Amino acid sequence: MTLFTDFGLAQPILKALSAEGYEKPTPIQAQTIPYALEGRDVCGIAQTGTGKTAAFALPILHRLNASPKPRKPKSPRVLVLSPTRELSGQIADSFKAYGRNLRLSTEVVFGGVTISRQEKALAGGVDILVATPGRLIDLVDRRALSLRDIEILVLDEADQMLDLGFIHALKRIVTLLPKDRQSLFFSATMPKTISTLADSFLRDPAHVAVTPVATTAERVEQSVIFVQTGRKQVLLETLLRDPSIDRVLVFTRTKHGADKVVRGLDKAGIAGAAIHGNKSQPQRERALAGFRDGSCRVLVATDIAARGIDVEGVTHVINYDLPNVPESYVHRIGRTARAGATGLAISFCNDEEKAYLKDIEKLTRLKVPVMPLPEGLPAAPAASEAGERREPQRGRPAPHARGHQGHGQPRNADPNAERGPKRRRGRGGKPGGNAQPQGGQPSGNQQRPAQAPRPAQGQRPAQGQRPAQGKPASGRQDGRRGDGAQVAWLEKSPRRR
Ligand code: AMP
């Protein structure tokens, strides 16, 4: 077994890791750290949740610390490129946490906030800069930043970068970097477009890969409830009355949908917050902070906004809408299975979404167990049903007209949908591009049932089995606990062990 002490990392870094409570490296760390410490380029296939941030941050901190240099204004030594502001912030926080006993500075820059503060911070000199590509280029164009002294480059979540349209920015950035540098490149998937991009950044890289996408799905207990669109809100409220649903991420497909769900919860006396691309940075930060500290146990998010959100102790993921890209499903449910923890995911599926469910089951090679609707679930409020009917189904083909994978109309055609990952075609049922199923896993379209849903209360695994289980639900939710029939259903459900 590999230990952090086996890598020869500097003592102050090991001390910080103990303070973080990390006992041993995750597989991506065990594979990446030795190469990165040697100064080699690395090309890694790894998703968020595998511990890949530390896989690149630890060797970088070690190398900078081993060759200290005075800080130069506007000229960082390390550049980490990441696709979203949330992820950038989290990467910067990780560098600060692991480097807390070193004299190295980390700064993060992303769009959507005033640039002048970032210009000022860079002028003071920083060692490590974490950035989203667009804002990075703005800063270069304003001569607030030079990439001439970059010694180490990290490109994180490369597949998301391409999905979000950053390809031109990346091509430009590579021309601004010194040729003599170390580059570490990570992507959850490695189709041809990504490996071509990797080739333009890397020199003789070591290749590392972990956790095929399907294994994340295996760690999460899943279930699906078939429900009409108009009853989804009332179903959600019913489920949320179960106090064992401690810290829950609810996913909607659109930003508008996320706001609507939060408004509905508010009316039902359940505290929730939404996080999506139309929210300002302070609003997003407030929502995340409330979710982290347990004052708000329900966070409603779109896929893009949730990407990279790293909150420990998410007990449940609820897919209010099923995603039209099956990989998004795996990313979503992975929010509740961070760093080896297990979690529970419940998906609401209307008639239209049944095709999405099929695609998901094909990708994960797991059959999602069906949970019955709770007994006595109230009918949808009349207004909501009417509202649903009034909503035009723009750009969405009728279910019977929708071709299966790779045919028919694109599924991201809904103009209301938040810009998200494009559907990747031609990858068959295999997860993660070239990621292989683990030994003993059936291949092709054979399906095994996903783990049966976990019991609601009383029979759950000990706290210690999950990292930092959130605080028990408090305040307004508690007032609704004793709400008989629905909670009883959760406890009595035949599928629950
Ligand atoms: P990442 O994939 O970098 O987003 O990391 C996912 C989560 O795993 C974060 O909450 C990290 O703090 C945590 N983590 C990373 N490495 C380890 C480790 N070796 N032991 C325990 N937790 C870890």
Candidates 430, 164, 130; CA nearest to 304 is 164
Give the pLDDT of residue 212: 58
Sequence-ordered strand ranges (E) for 168-219: 182-187, 206-209
Taking residues 211-234, report their average pLDDT.
82
- How many Å lie between the centroid of ligand 1 and the Cα of residue 158? 19
The Cα angle at residue 312 between residues 309 and 313, in degrees rounded to 5: 125
Q: How confident is the model at residue 440 (pLDDT cuts 50, 70, 90)?
A: very low
Tell me the DSSP string of 317-356. EEESS--SSHHHHHHHHGGGSGGG--EEEEEEE-TTTHHH
Q: Is the pLDDT of residue 178 over 50?
A: yes
Structure confidence at residue 452 as a pLDDT band (50, 70, 90):
very low
Nearest CA to ligand 1 atom 14: 51
Q: Which atom of ligand 1 is nearest to the CA of 49?
A: 2
- Average pLDDT of span 150-154: 98
pLDDT higher than threshold 90 for residue 430: no
Query: What is the reported pLDDT for 339?
Result: 53
User: Which range among 64-78, 227-241, 456-470 shows the weakest confidence by mean pLDDT?
Assistant: 456-470
Domains, in order of start, for the chain: 4-211 (3.40.50.300), 214-383 (3.40.50.300)
User: Which is nearest to 495 in space by CA: 453, 464, 462, 457?
Assistant: 453
CB atoms within 10 A of CB 15: 12
Cβ–ligand 1 distance for 97 under 6 Å, the answer: no
DSSP state of 457: S
> Cα-flanking dihedrals φ and ψ of residue 127, to 5°?
-85, -45
Confidence of residue 337 (pLDDT cuts 50, 70, 90): low
Concatenated DSSP letters of 35-92: HHHHT--EEEE--TTSSHHHHHHHHHHHHHHHS----BTTB-SEEEE-SSHHHHHHHH
Does ligand 1 have an atom closer than 6 angstroms to the CB of 34? no
Question: Which run of H or of E encompasses 359?
Answer: helix 354-364
Dist CA 14 CA 223 (whole Å): 40
The rounded Å distance from CA 462 to ligand 1 centre is 20
Give the pLDDT confidence score for residue 283 in this predicted structure: 85
Residue 219 has pLDDT above 80, yes or no: no
Q: How far is the CA of 28 from the centre of ligand 1 (A)?
A: 10
98's CB contacts (< 8 A; 6+ apart) are 13, 16, 17, 20, 54, 57, 58, 61
Residues 150, 69: contact at Cβ < 8 Å? no
- Report pLDDT for 451: 52
Neighbouring residues of 417: CB distance < 8 A, sequence distance ≥ 6 = 253, 254, 324
User: Residue 313: pLDDT above 50?
Assistant: yes
Percentage of the chain modeled with pLDDT above 90: 51
| pTM score, whole prediction | 0.56
Across 34-38, 266-270, 474-478, which has the greatest mean pLDDT?
34-38
Q: Residue 457 pLDDT more than 60? A: no
Pocket test for ligand 1, best of 22, 61, 100, 211 (most atoms within 8 A of CB): 22
Tell me, what's the pLDDT at 476?
28
Q: How confident is the model at residue 419 (pLDDT cuts 50, 70, 90)?
A: very low
- Listed range (61-70, 229-238, 326-335) with the worst mean pLDDT: 326-335
Distance 41 CA to ligand 1 centre (A): 22
Q: What's the token pair of residue 321?
A: 């809408």
Give residue 251 CA to ligand 1 midpoint distance, Å. Answer: 23
Task: From the CA of 53, give the closest atom in ligand 1.
Answer: 3
Q: With bands split at pLDDT 50, 70 and 90, how would you rate the model's confidence at 14?
A: very high
CA 415, CA 274: separation in Å to the nearest integer? 20
More confident residue, 495 or 170: 170
DSSP 3-state of 448: strand
CA of 267 to the centre of ligand 1 (A): 37
Q: Is the pLDDT of residue 495 over 60?
A: no
Which residue among 28, 186, 307, 338 is best mutated to probe the pocket of ligand 1, counting the most ligand atoms within 8 A of its Cβ?
A: 338
Dist. CA 305–CA 84, nearest whole Å: 8
Any atom of ligand 1 within 6 Å of the Cβ of 54: yes
pLDDT for residue 485 is more than 90? no
What is the predicted pLDDT for the residue at 474? 30
Residue 346 pLDDT level (bands cut at 50, 70, 90): very high
- Tell the residue number behind the tokens 């998004």, with chain if given: 328
**Cβ atoms of residues 213 and 431 within 8 Å:** yes
- For residue 14, CA distances in Å to 21, 98, 421 come to 11, 8, 37
Residue of 310, 335, 466 best suited for mutating to test ligand 1, as the one with most atoms within 8 Å of CB? 310
List the residue whose alpha carbon is closest to atom 21 of ligand 1.
22
CB atoms within 10 A of CB 439: 5
In 3D space, the residue among 185, 9, 167 whose CA is nearest the CA of residue 98 turns out to be 9
* CA of 4, closest atom in ligand 1: 19
Residue of 207 and 403 predicted with greater confidence:
207
Contacts of 469 (CB under 8 A, 6+ apart): 246, 313, 315, 463
* Cα of 349 from ligand 1 centre, angstroms: 32
Range of weakest confidence among 129-133, 173-177, 350-354, 435-439: 435-439
Mean pLDDT over residues 272-295, rounded?
85
Give the pLDDT band (50/70/90) at residue 115: very high
Q: Is the pLDDT confidence value at 310 over 50?
A: yes
The neighbouring-strand residues paired with 316 are 248, 344
H-helix or E-strand spanning residue 130? strand 128-131
For residue 376, count other CB atoms closer than 10 A to its CB: 11
pLDDT at 414 over 80: no
